[in-house]
Amino acid sequence: MKQAVVFSNKAAAAKQRTKKVLAGTEKRTLARNACVRAKAEYAGADRVLGRRDSVRARSAAAPEAPAFQEWSSRDGQKREDIKKIVILGAGPIVIGQACEFDYSGTQACKALKQEGYEIVLVNSNPATIMTDPGTADRTYVGPMTPESVKDILIKEKPDALLPTMGGQTALNLAKALAENGDLDELNIELIGAKLDAINVAEDRLLFKEAMDRIGLKTPPSGTAENMEEAHAIQKEIGNFPIIIRPAFTLGGTGGGIAYNMEEFNQIVQAGLTASMTSQVLIEKSLIGWKEYELEVMRDLKDNVVIICSIENIDPMGVHTGDSVTVAPAQTLTDKEYQRLRDASVAIIREVGVECGGSNVQFGVNPVDGEVMVIEMNPRVSRSSALASKATGFPIAKMAAKLAIGYTLDCIPNDITQKTPASFEPSIDYVVTKIPRFAFEKFPGSSPVLTTQMKSVGEAMAIGRTFQESFQKALRSLEVGLNGWSGPKGAATPTEEELRYNLRTPNPDRLVAVWYAMDAGFSTEEVIELTKMDPWFVNQLRCLKDVGEYVKASDLESLSASDWKQIKSRGFSDSQIAEFARVPEDVVRSLRRKCGVVPQMKRVDTCAAEFEANTPYMYSTYDGEDEGGAN
């Protein structure tokens, strides 16, 4: 790492830029703007919900009485014709499928048991919470194969099978059992997602046809079931790179980006092998486009709500599980958000997901705003777990209740206990998720990130601003980073190495951005090389400038306002100590002397419009304390 003296020449310029920030002239917090925007947009939610009068209007009219008591007497109560439900787990932890499906499956088991149903769980992974005694009424630990599960179904004689909580493994099992005729033979109903909906969402050709019917664009593409068909589609699409996506797989398994014919043949063959239907989608590359996800829920009365929008910092070409993501989306205009929202509602209806949660992914051209639909997951997904923790809205639990007949306006919000699930979450903070990689455990594997997921985990952080949550998430990875900077003791990369790391998606690209700015790369150069949205790059530039300001400052001369501004951007005491070359205890003492201490804020799903009854907290240096103690 460079010595402090190297920074002295650039510190003056950085200090001037940062003075405005620390003086409070740059007050915009995008999370708050998103919250205000969400409230303004809520007036349009009635149309999506299919209601004449809005939930918010009713709540405002009678603020003293919990509105849920009135709504719960309506239609949309749980089904009495089913008594026993089998829930399929996700099987072993693999890349692309980790504890998020244990989280969703456990929520579903508890929610349905509370409703009085007899729950039978099938999972092959003993190292899960869902397989603990007491989570389900009976648990079977065994192979996740159609033959094995059929034997269990014959023995248990359930009324229904819920496949949407166990990821792609459970969905594929349900599809096999339904198409084999086993479910009809045993008189077992698929709930949560019917076979037709699973096929339309997962079969690449059927999904493309469904999007065409509702007038939504998908990338130019074709489906192939052998190499001859693949070559014909490649010739029709034309130039490389070309994206290959196998059907019915998890985490992009077997897929990738082909830059030449040799790679094309290799990836297509792997995709055909990985797909349970031996089908791959071959599509034109949208590398460089912005990528967004929306978490959507629908009930049996056709009410639809958007739980959360998620934006990928990395542009298209990187699997969303390997990309740094932010919730809510930070760079969408009001009009763009409404377009994606309306499209998501149309998609979940056209695909035929009658009830439960789905994840819809979009690509947006940063030049002209053109929108393309990438794919849809008709189940609780990896992003659903992130959206649940980001908003406080338990998607898996709600999806399980919707599957047994409840409607969104009949399910209470656990956090507020005053609003129903049809009240869309609104958040006044920013959540950042950063993936964790372990390429050192896989010698010989390529660290280049593509459409096939390679991360082994992730960390999430909450802050009042993107900068704060971003730096907190980096520290949470436990890879030796105090925040956004070059790793301690690491060699400074050459300019050639920097340009390669900026241009090529890899686990260290964000660190390469720091090194590039440190080496004098302009903001425009970084944007051009990474294809990241200018807003994110400018946020990182601001962080770099504040870091330079701290390095050039006498900590004892910093005012309380300075300390608060620095800390509200996610700089840790140890990070500041490293910049100033003083012990961490000195930094902490000076900060506390100025009265700058962390505050605890509540995640309440409604941007503080209603009081939260669940102690789901995060720390920040902005605003008043809501936790009762520092």
Tens of pLDDT along 197-246? 999 988 888 999 999 999 999 998 888 889 989 999 998 888 888 888 88
Domain harbouring 269, CATH code: 3.30.1490.20
Quick one: 589 and 441 in the same domain?
yes
CA dihedral 227, 233, 235, 240 (to 10 degrees): -90
Q: In this structure, is residue 106 part of a structural domain?
A: yes
Quick one: 111 and 184 in the same domain?
yes
Quick one: 468 and 575 in the same domain?
yes
Q: In this structure, is residue 570 part of a structural domain?
A: yes
Q: In this structure, is residue 46 part of a structural domain?
A: no
DSSP 494: P
* Residues, the chain: 630
Domain boundary among 284, 313, 334: 284
Q: In this structure, is residue 296 part of a structural domain?
A: no
Domain boundary among 135, 169, 190: 190
Quick one: 482 and 549 in the same domain?
yes
Has residue 25 got a pLDDT over 50? no
Quick one: 522 and 583 in the same domain?
yes
pLDDT at 215: 96
Tens of pLDDT along 437-452? 888 777 877 888 888 8
3-state helix, strand and coil shares in percent for the chain, rounded to the nearest 5? 45, 15, 40
Domains in the chain, number: 3
Quick one: 443 and 592 in the same domain?
yes
Element (H, E) at 162: strand 160-162
Closest listed residue to residue 604, CA positions, set 587, 621, 627: 627
Quick one: 181 and 238 in the same domain?
no
Rounded Cα–Cα distance for residues 419 and 59 (Å): 8
Closest listed residue to residue 458, CA positions, set 438, 440, 480, 430: 438
Tens of pLDDT along 522-578? 999 999 999 999 999 999 999 999 999 999 999 999 999 999 999 999 999 999 999
Q: In this structure, is residue 232 part of a structural domain?
A: yes
What average pLDDT does range 379-392 have in this prediction? 86
Of the pLDDT bands very low, low, confident and very high (cuts 50, 70, 90), residue 76 is low
pLDDT at 96: 67
Has residue 622 got a pLDDT over 50? yes
The values of phi and psi at residue 77, to 5°, are -85, 170
Domain interval for residue 542: 4-29+435-596
Quick one: 578 and 496 in the same domain?
yes
Q: In this structure, is residue 444 part of a structural domain?
A: yes
Quick one: 462 and 575 in the same domain?
yes
Rounded Cα–Cα distance for residues 541 and 596 (Å): 25
Rounded Cα–Cα distance for residues 391 and 584 (Å): 33
Tens of pLDDT along 134-189? 899 999 998 999 999 999 999 999 999 999 988 888 988 999 999 999 999 999 99
Quick one: 448 and 549 in the same domain?
yes
pLDDT at 194: 92
Angle between helices 573-580 and 584-593 (to 10 degrees): 110
Q: In this structure, is residue 492 part of a structural domain?
A: yes
Q: In this structure, is residue 252 part of a structural domain?
A: yes
Of the pLDDT bands very low, low, confident and very high (cuts 50, 70, 90), residue 48 is very low
Least confident of 12-16, 257-261, 268-272, 394-398: 12-16
Domain harbouring 463, CATH code: 1.10.1030.10
Domain harbouring 158, CATH code: 3.40.50.20
Has residue 106 got a pLDDT over 60? yes
Closest listed residue to residue 29, CA positions, set 630, 621, 531: 621
Quick one: 185 and 224 in the same domain?
no
Strand order in the sheet with 242-246: 221-224, 280-284, 242-246, 256-258
* pTM over cut 0.85: no
Element (H, E) at 118: strand 118-123
What average pLDDT does range 329-353 have in this prediction? 94
What average pLDDT does range 347-373 have in this prediction? 93
* 478 HSE (CA, 13 A, CB side): 4
Quick one: 166 and 227 in the same domain?
no
